[in-house]
């Protein structure tokens, strides 16, 4: 049995794409001509996971806000998950322009797990919460660098509490 047959047997017959390549990809501009050109398709592909990587303060959030602006221009709603909890609507509007906050809800979860659960419920839908899939054309998770699990967050808080207590007790 060849590799593909083994994988299909284990994970299902539909695991591999059988479609021909689609020449037309729906894209959203990043707001940067050079970045759009460098993607080879004129922006970021809609319906795919795209990672924007860079050093701290290298304009990743600004690029995400430009993508938000361009997604709204194309009639898409954008779910913005701000894991760093540093964004606010005033700053968003300074880049995006005026928009209805129901078109760009800003979630600021306390942990990565909650942020990912929000994204998953939005993508797949959630019957208990009565969330229909496909409501948002773009979901932005800002930033991957702030992906801290609840367990890590709790541990960090416990460690800093112990350290602060130790400092206070030794003075």
CATH architecture of 3-170: 3-Layer(aba) Sandwich (3.40)
Delimit the domains of the chain by residue range: 3-170
Q: Cis omega (within 30 of 0) on the bond before 35?
A: no
List Cα–Cα distances, 165 to 152, 156, 171, in angstroms: 20, 14, 10
pLDDT tens column, 110-149: 888 899 899 999 999 888 888 888 899 999 999 777 666 6
Spatial separation of the C-alpha atoms in residues 87 and 141, rounded to whole Å: 12
* pTM for this model (two decimals): 0.74
Spatial separation of the C-alpha atoms in residues 54 and 60, rounded to whole Å: 7
pLDDT tens column, 74-101: 999 999 999 989 999 999 999 999 999 9
pLDDT score, position 91: 96
Is residue 75 within 8 A of residue 100, CB to CB? The reply is no
Spatial separation of the C-alpha atoms in residues 35 and 32, rounded to whole Å: 5
């Amino acid at each position: 049995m060849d590799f593909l047959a083994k994988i299909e047997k284990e994970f299902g017959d539909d695991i591999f794409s059988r479609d021909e390549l689609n020449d037309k990809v729906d894209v959203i501009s990043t707001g940067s001509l050079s970045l759009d050109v460098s993607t080879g398709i004129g922006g970021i592909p809609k319906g795919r996971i795209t990672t924007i990587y860079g050093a701290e303060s290298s304009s990743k959030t600004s690029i995400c806000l430009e993508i938000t602006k361009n997604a709204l221009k194309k009639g898409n709603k954008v779910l913005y998950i701000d894991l760093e909890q540093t964004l606010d609507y005033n700053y968003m509007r300074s880049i995006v322009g005026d928009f209805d906050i129901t078109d760009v809800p800003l979630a600021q979860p306390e942990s990565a797990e909650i942020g990912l659960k929000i994204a998953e419920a939005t993508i797949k839908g959630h019957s208990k919460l009565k969330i229909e899939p496909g409501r948002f054309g773009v979901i932005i998770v800002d930033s991957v660098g702030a992906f801290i699990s609840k367990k890590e967050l709790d541990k960090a808080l416990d460690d800093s509490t112990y350290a602060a207590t130790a400092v206070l007790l030794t003075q």
